[in-house]
Structure 1
Amino acid sequence: MEITDRDDVGADLFAPTTDGSGRPYWGYELVTFVQPGDIVLHWHKTLAGEPGIVGWSRATGAYEDTDISWQAHGTVGRASGNLKPRPAWRMPLLDYKPLKEPVPISDVRASDADLREALAELEARYPSGRLYFPFGFSNKRELRAQQTYFVKMPREVLGILGLDDLERALGPKLPTPTASKDQPKGKSRKRGDSGYIADSAVRSAIEWRAVNLAVAAYEAAGYAVDYTGASKPYDLAVEKGADRRRVEVKGSSGAATTVELTNGEVNNSREPTPADLFVVDGIQWWREPDGSVQADGGDVRWWKDWTAHDPDLKAIRFRYTLPVGG
């Protein structure tokens, strides 16, 4: 469950990789344990007139490494006034649905005794585990949501709050994997959409899902297709009669509004040979019992005769030549 007051609730999970002192923090790190298809509940501080659970979303892909301008909302965080870009994790979400009847804090507090009992039973069942329970109890104040960003939501708590039928109502977690064509060997690893995906197996599955869709699309349009991603600064060389093109393919598990390009990819788009940009976002991935990663789905956008113009490029990294000496 996400605990937030953001205006774009349900868009994604977005948290810094460390706390304000640079140390790992469970309330952020739990974001990296979310799997595609997982249900994420959203606790919002004002949307329902009082704090409470207002809706749910589905996780749709791998978390990505990116940056965030973040200030913790607790008393200490607000007092620090520290708001600057920091390394962050982003997990895309899809299909936000508001609850027809939000679960306000007043209803949660009415179940205080039941929630305490559920916590005690879970602690007895998992004596060495870390529960990251969604609510905090105190003898000095009323029950409240944990003062953090992200928590676990036990099924027992869903039942107490009247949300126990939520998972059953949503149907299957993920589509049944479909057979895909064999992947060519040696594809170079590239950067993804709005950030770098840390898990190389996930990154590769997403990239190959996009490449396979691009190959199928060009073959359906009558082109002969040659995979070139292992040796050239573009992924496909396609040919139909006198029409010869170079195709750059990008895949993302999130909703792509930008893609990252290498210097070679930018230069290729400016060569006399026509270049196309083929982007697939919203790709779903999952991990099989044997540890392998599969990917499916995705929405295609396709730009023909594409050039990466300077005004549309933003420098995010430089290679600096060190002065002699030092």
Structure 2
Amino acid sequence: MVGGMQAIGQQWWSGDPTQRYWMELVNVDSWGSELVAPDEARHALMYDVAIGDVVFHWVGKNNPRRRPSGMYGASVVAGTLQYGAGEWLGRPANTIELTGYTAFDPPLLLTALRSHQGQIFDLVAKLQERERQTLHFPFQKHPTAGLKPNQRYLSKLPAELLDIVPELRPDSDWGGFEDPVIAPPIDPTIPEFRRRYSGICMDPELRRAIEMAAVEQASAHYVAQGYEVSDVGLTHSYDLLVTRNDEIRHVEVKGSQSAIFKIQLTRNEVVHADVFENTDLVLVSEIQWERLADGSIKTGAGIMDVIPRWTPSVENLKPLTYEYFLD
């Protein structure tokens, strides 16, 4: 038992390392960085997702940008389920970190997938006869329209479907892993608890986009106050150098696509803020973002808090790693 709900238990795919594929159905503009669903029985499949699994992202017809219904990309699972770490329609929700998002170019649309529907329905019949269990299959047979996606958030996509629809398996196999896909390497220096709060993002492209959006919003704030702003994050222990007449301020910027309860600080960031009196901390939370059809990230505004003359308090600092010198 994890949190408030128990995993479904023994499934038809249990113990088979090749059955490592899932399909997420979304009707929003953001996908590919995490799975998120409330801790309810109808979302119990979240507990069966394992590190190294592959998640396909199906964008439903009711998405706000009116994209055609279809498969727009795939990601690799990078973390374990985090109970209550996210939000679903204003309610606490479980999350699972994803990484390595690969956009399908072009997307595999429902109209193209229907060209395989005879083989797909045959596969379903064979699996039902063999397994004698609920398949949790991503698609259903509509009496008039033919193949349609099931209206559930997360489904189990059988490995056999990739043989029927080769477009689902790109040549790179999401990072160059051999077939069957093995678990991607996970940085062992990242403690599990660091994935339980906003600010840690396993998708490098999304992380860069969020960081840039936060710096841009902070820069605009200081420009509006009459400061000259220089982005020095690549060469200094802070992000922005802002000046106005004889006044000099150093600005540390932290951004997140969610609410910010904790932040990551390097040793140099802590030391610098401690010794330079005019250091501001700018927090930009709940940055809006969407995944475009080509896999790139478009960001919007977030909620900004400015803490002037900030000094990290010792009681609020918690060491995550130590440097140890051998005798």
TM-score relative to the length of structure 2? 0.49
TM-score relative to the length of structure 1? 0.49
